[in-house]
């Protein structure tokens, strides 16, 4: 089962809580189900809905592909790129970057999460409002097919069973499930994109040796797929958040 980034879970569960679809006390537990300790600027999650924010959005930026990020200081961009993720509120501006920190001896490692707050500019949500689940899924599927074709003669495709894994993931219940009331197609896209992103990242880390030309083709195709999968994951998450907040209809 693909692992969802912390910012994806946080965006969905916080939005659900802010709109009465989940208990506020459960947000951290549901957003970080496998983290032993969560600390940092958690007060923002209480402050933002009090001042009128209804939705928490996420970004999964990569170097050269950070257009979904809110405008802010270089420090937010640097930390979000380092973490590979962040969440932000669009109306008044404000962001949180989760840093995941391992601790404990080898063989008995645990994880801590520290959320750091940043100021940022408000973010117009019209681009997200125009998205549809079918458009997001089509873009992801097209990229998967294209990358599979490129890699087919180089090595084994690392996401052969992504569809089955994603379908199983949509049925996962507490504590690793998604908020109730989500559009089923968006939930499927979220899990599929997360699974593909994990597979592409793992394949890049393995960095199999081979002929120079084939090796570079492989890395280029996998990097492009990773960026596309993370963009689809962020888009599907943000559209689902807008629907949970009642800002766009489920369609």
Q: Which domain holds residue 234?
A: 129-244
The per-residue pLDDT for range 125-142, each reduced to its tens digit, is: 999 999 999 999 999 999
**Boundary residue ending a domain (123, 151, 179):** 123
Same domain (yes/no): 76, 93: yes
Q: Which residues of the chain have pLDDT under 70?
A: 1-2, 153-176, 207-214, 251
Same domain (yes/no): 74, 178: no
| Contact indicator for 226, 200 with CB cutoff of 8 Å | yes
Same domain (yes/no): 109, 48: yes
**Boundary residue ending a domain (123, 158, 180):** 123
The reported pLDDT for the residue numbered 213 is 61
Same domain (yes/no): 195, 171: yes
pTM (two decimals): 0.90
- Count how many domains the chain has: 2
The reported pLDDT for the residue numbered 135 is 96
The reported pLDDT for the residue numbered 173 is 44
């Amino acid at each position: 089962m693909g692992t969802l980034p912390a910012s994806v879970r946080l965006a969905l569960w916080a939005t659900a809580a802010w709109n009465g679809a989940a208990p506020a006390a459960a947000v951290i537990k549901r957003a970080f189900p496998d983290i032993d300790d969560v600390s940092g600027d958690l007060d923002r999650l209480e402050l933002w809905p009090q001042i009128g924010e209804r939705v928490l959005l996420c970004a999964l930026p990569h170097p050269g592909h950070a257009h979904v990020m809110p405008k802010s200081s270089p420090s937010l961009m640097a930390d979000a790129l380092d973490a590979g993720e962040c969440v932000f509120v669009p109306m008044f501006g404000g962001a949180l970057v989760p840093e995941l920190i391992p601790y404990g001896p080898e063989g008995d490692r645990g994880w801590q999460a520290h959320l750091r707050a940043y100021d940022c500019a408000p973010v117009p949500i019209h681009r997200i409002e125009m998205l549809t689940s079918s458009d997001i899924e089509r873009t992801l599927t097209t990229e998967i097919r294209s990358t599979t074709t490129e890699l087919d003669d180089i090595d084994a495709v690392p996401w052969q069973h992504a569809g089955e894994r994603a379908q199983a993931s949509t049925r996962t219940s507490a504590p690793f499930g998604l908020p109730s009331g989500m559009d089923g197609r968006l939930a499927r896209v979220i899990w599929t994109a997360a699974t593909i992103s994990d597979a592409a990242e793992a394949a890049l880390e393995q960095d199999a040796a081979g002929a120079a030309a084939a090796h570079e083709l492989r890395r280029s195709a996998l990097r492009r797929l990773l960026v596309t999968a993370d963009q689809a994951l962020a888009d599907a998450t943000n559209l689902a958040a807008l629907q949970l907040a009642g800002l766009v209809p489920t369609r």
